[in-house]
Amino acid sequence: MIGVGINGYGTIGRRVAYGVSVQDDMYISGIVKNTPDYVAKEASRHFNIFVPSEEKIEEFKKSGINVKGTVEDLCKNSDIMVDGTPEGMGEKNLSLYKKFNVRAILEGGEKHSTVDGSFNAYSDFDQMKNKKYVRVVSCNTTALARSLFPIFDNYEISSVNATILRRATDPNDSKKGPINAIEPTMQYPSHHAPDLKTIIPNINIKTTAVKIPTTLMHVHIIDAELPGNVNTEDIKKIWKKYNRLLLINSNEGFKSTAQIMDMAKERSRNRADLYEIAIWKDSININNGILHYLQAVHQESDVIPENIDAIRSMFNIEDKEESIRKTDDSLKIKGGEF
């Protein structure tokens, strides 16, 4: 059993903690929480709580939360740390993990150059085997890899152009915006294009990113240039083989991200999450060799299965197909046609 410590119990950290806790080959050795808020209180019912430094112990005690030690203690008692701290902090924490000679996973907000490699289960599970420090790419990059890698693996894609409509902030945030505005990123390609190349090196992709006032999901508008003889049925047939893609139809009521997340609630999964990337089947078309499609991404949860598979790859305890199957079964991931 692999002991997994979670450093940072935010949107991703808490979901990785849940995901790990339902596997049969790993367990949560503890979680590090910075503030004794309601999230810490709820977490303390399930997990051992650690804090970033000695000074914090008193603050947590005052709030009635029992603390088992500091992040250093957790490093000593874990086989691997998953770093869910805010963007940029993971790189700093890496020296701590190295000091305690504990493996670590950083999340998509960190730089590729700081780690031994970047991870996506479909595109490079085997390449990350036995590595000590691995980064799971961001929610958007994961989503791009999920739908593009299966095509890339079958056909020569000469180029991809993607527009990424990003949710402004996560649902539990009432501070960040934009509340009532559209905020385009001037950088072209946006960081998503080079990020995708860390897990699919030879893909030729350009991306544009725009923040919009919503919290539920991201939406991607994707155009990919394919060989002339490929048709939409070929593409659907390939996608159906990949369990982390869910093909939905707008005329079944999926008019927007609101209904997609509503469907996720109906599926009664932990936190009403949707691990699969939802692709609108009726958006798929090919014109003059350009495949066009729309997909929706639940930014809070799509990277969770990847974190679990990354652990199995880094310890080389399971092969790719079996790891993905175990993860999907335990999280009730069920793609294919809705």
Active site residues: 139
Among 298, 324, 312, 128, which residue's Cα sits nearest to residue 243? 324
Binding-site member from 113, 130, 180, 287 for a second copy (CB under 8 A): 180
Structure tokens at 146: 């999920």
The DSSP-derived string for 166-195 is: EESS-TT-SS-S-SS--EE--SSS-THHHH
Report which residue type is found at 321: E
Cα separation, 54 vs 65, whole angstroms: 14
Pairing of strands 218-225, 290-297: antiparallel
296 belongs to the binding site for a second copy (CB under 8 A): no
DSSP letter at 112? Answer: G
Per CB under 8 A, the segment of 98-106, 117-125, 127-135, 245-253 that binds a second copy is 245-253
- CB distance 302 to 275 below 8 Å: yes
The pattern of x and - marking residues 198 through 237 that bind a second copy according to CB under 8 A reads ------------------x---------------------
In DSSP terms, which residues pair with 207 in a beta bridge?
162
Task: Compute how many residues bind a second copy; rule: CB under 8 A.
Answer: 37
Give whichever of 46 and 92 is closer to a second copy, judged by the CB atom.
46
Burial class (CB in 10 A: 0-12, 13-18, 19+), 172: exposed
Is there binding between residue 280 and a second copy (CB under 8 A)? Answer: no
Of the pair 92, 255, the CB lying nearest a second copy is at 255
Q: Give phi and psi for 337, each to the nearest 5.
A: -80, 135
Indicate whether 165 belongs to the interface with a second copy (CB under 8 A): no
Q: How far is the CB of 23 from a second copy (least distance, A)?
A: 17
C-beta separation of 222 from 250 below 8 A: no
**According to CB under 8 A, which residues from 22 to 51 bind a second copy?**
35-39, 41-43
Q: Does 332 bind a second copy (CB under 8 A)?
A: no
CA distance 185 to 165: 11
Candidate residues 174, 202, 287, 288; the one interacting with a second copy per rule CB under 8 A: 174
If binding is defined by CB under 8 A, does position 270 make contact with a second copy?
Answer: yes
Contact 143, 172 (CB under 8 A): no
Please identify which residue in the block is written with the tokens 């500091």. Answer: 70
Q: With binding defined as CB under 8 A, does residue 265 bind a second copy?
A: yes
Q: Which of residues 51-110 bind a second copy (CB under 8 A)?
A: 63
Comparison of 36 and 117: residue with beta carbon closer to a second copy? 36
User: Residue 240 Cβ, how far from a second copy at the closest point, in Å?
Assistant: 16
- Judged by CB under 8 A, the residue of 77, 232, 259, 330 near a second copy is 259
Binding region for a second copy (CB under 8 A): 14, 35-39, 41-43, 63, 171-175, 180, 216, 248, 252-259, 261-263, 265-268, 270-272, 338
